[in-house]
Structure 1
């Protein structure tokens, strides 16, 4: 089918589900710590969090510190991903898969830095699908710099069928490329670890655009975009110019550090799933009349217990990261009975799916998937006329 995806809820026909094959470690360097700082620096979450891996010097360019992931977690993650694929296929959704990372591909290099390779697991992040266009977004984590290349066979087939295929400008990603102001001023997580001072490079060009597709909430012709740094703002400038006349961009500021799909998701026209009622204060006025489903606080027993050396990347609200199959059906983590009951009380059909280690790998069902074909079109849900 031809690429067509304008929203988060209309009947799902085709989707990409990510791969975790040969996922071995997280690389603790500036871009990684900056991206996850709202979560790896929190002290009030349910289980012990890892202290900074190695010394500060170990995370400077040229001597990165890697945080290994135990193989049993990767094996169980791969089992759960195959379960997600099977459930989607049982619902008559066509599932596409990226290329797997070969075990021999341990590192990527650019003129400015080198980093470990991350498999194409959270495929929502580095691609934004808007209507009939694939937009590869400028990465925010160095180890994910070439991640969209693993989706090339999928994207190329949609291109042959008539899709537009665009790549946003690629950042050099030196230390000076990153706007550190959010990490240095945010107090969301309580006491925080310092983000290392950026090191100079001959390739410094100042702040660059860096941005993930998961910072966007797609509502037909309207796109809600979360902006927390100068990097995000530059990318949003690019999107506004590129999409002018086709989509309307609405900026929200510092709703979260970057991604908003564990803060707010649109489950159908007129209904939002939110972490708390305060989320509404950040959203455009037309959304204030939509019904809110406030996610219940997750229970401690919803999550596995981890050892002190296991790096936890997300907040306990990661399971708000659901995937809508149609306006009345939602994939929800089977480990979340509170959320399942809440959605069923709102007359949603809940499809429970197992996903154990979402907090170690930084993503839920919405993160792991990239919906490429839905039935909806460029409708006006915000009443602009």
Structure 2
């Protein structure tokens, strides 16, 4: 059980697959609304969309219940993903399951219902032989990595390093709201402003926040998306921490947060990209790579939801694929255009079902954390 993961495409030997068990609701507070801002407007009518109600100064978070059928089908699909990886010869590790009666978690001045460790790419970054727990941006996910602790501990006992970045307090004033309030950065459609943050006796100003899914790992090189000052502060910390072991390349506002539904490296020299314009946002040394751009998402490939179902991701979520090696890619079976595009580009695709990806904020890359690949800390940019 040796931790070794520097990229997303060399042969995969071990992986952690998240758990969807008892994913029953969303805690909708300012942290949730801010994180999902880009995708909670623009793709549906905002004046009809179920926004967080604030009446008479009541800023208590709403616990938004998810329909039981969706949660059960999500759990079934995640278990099938784990089985598909095992069938390909990959050793699969799992986090602890969130119990159905999990007590609320609390910080300084806030309380939230916890979520299961499903989108585990977010709050952890694997760099070679090091586990780095990254600072969360959503209160309900503050203790999510504790459900991964048994897995992390086994890797640590086998020789891995285990680091935790500074944890934010997560008051309203911890957040740089500039991205959400800058109309030039939104994806289109009417935008409802994030509510004015409330003062807290625990305010310390902007704090570090960064998800592992904001980092594109290419051996010695890390391409990191920065949308606002919370991200910038965290990348500054990461730069000091890794020193000259890695080269960090900052890209700005490629997305609100995650880079992995915009751009994924499928092998050295080849990206899967949402659109060709991403090329101009990258370091010069990466602009000569091949950019594989699939057809626009087919609306009929997604389930039809009611107006009170909370859609958290854009229709481009199916770009969030998982590579088993430089030739083999796990792709949502409901995305025939993407499957055909990758097949035509010489990849072997493995169709796996994932029905409710827009309701739960992630695809196959989000749901997994690759912990052992055969690749080393290669220099792919020189």
TM-score (norm 1): 0.96
Aligned to 1:96: 93
1-side partners of 2:32 and 2:368: how far apart? 21
Give 2:143's aligned residue: 146
Q: Deviations over 1:206-236 (max 9, x none)?
A: 0000110000000000000000010000000
Question: 3-state SS of the aligned residue for 2:179?
Answer: helix
Q: Deviations for 1:309-340, whole angstroms, at most 9, x for unmatched residues?
A: 10000000000000000000000000000000
Q: Of 62, 70, 80, which residue of structure 2 is paired with 1:83?
A: 80
Does residue 70 of the first structure (1) align with residue 67 of the second (2)?
A: yes
Secondary structure at 1:286 match in 2: helix
Q: Provide the aligned length of Structure 1 versus Structure 2.
A: 380
Measure, in 1, the Cα distance between the counterparts of 2:155 and 2:90.
16
Kept in 1, the 8 Å contact 2:134–2:165? The answer is yes
Question: 1:281, CA displacement in angstroms?
Answer: 1.2
CA contact (8 A) 2:119 2:367 kept: yes
Partners of 2:43 and 2:314 within 8 A in 1:
no
Partner of 1:157: 154
Asked if residue 127 in structure 1 is aligned to residue 128 in structure 2, the reply is no
Distance 1:146 1:32 in 2: 15
Q: Structure 1 residue 24: deviation in Å?
A: 1.1
Match of 2:11 in 1: 11
Question: Measured at CA, do residues 380 and 316 of structure 1 come closer, stay the same or move farther in structure 2, by a change above 3 Å?
Answer: same
Maintained 8 Å contact 1:328/1:347: yes
Q: CA deviation at 1:32?
A: 0.4
| Structure 1: gaps of 5 or more residues | none
Q: Paired residue for 1:33?
A: 33
1: distance between equivalents of 2:228 and 2:102?
32
Q: Which residue in the other structure is 1:344 paired with?
A: 343
Q: Is the 8 A contact 1:49 1:312 kept in 2?
A: no
Cα root mean square deviation, aligned: 1.5
Residues 40 and 49 of structure 1 are in contact (CA less than 8 Å); yes or no, is this contact kept in structure 2?
Answer: no
Deviation at 1:49, TM superposition (A): 6.9
CA contact (8 A) 2:269 2:289 kept: yes
Change (3 A) 1:224 1:59: farther
Question: Structure 2 matches for 1:42-61, cutoff 5 A?
Answer: 42-43=42-43, 50-55=49-54, 60=59
Between the aligned partners of 2:151 and 2:254, the Cα distance in structure 1 is 32
Provide the TM-score with structure 2 as the length reference: 0.97
Closer/same/farther in 2, CA of residues 57 and 218 from structure 1, 3 Å limit: farther
**Could you give the per-residue CA deviations for residues 266-324 of structure 1, whole angstroms, max 9, x where no partner exists?**
00000000000011111111111101101211111110001111000000000000000
Alignment CA distance shift 1:336-1:119 (3 Å): same
Partner of 1:335: 334
Q: Which residue of 1 aligns with 2:359?
A: 360
1:51-110 alpha-carbon deviations (Å, 9 max, x no partner) = 2143366872xx111211001101000110111011100000000000011122131011
Contact 2:211–2:258, Cα closer than 8 Å, also in 1: yes
Residue equivalent to 2:179: 182
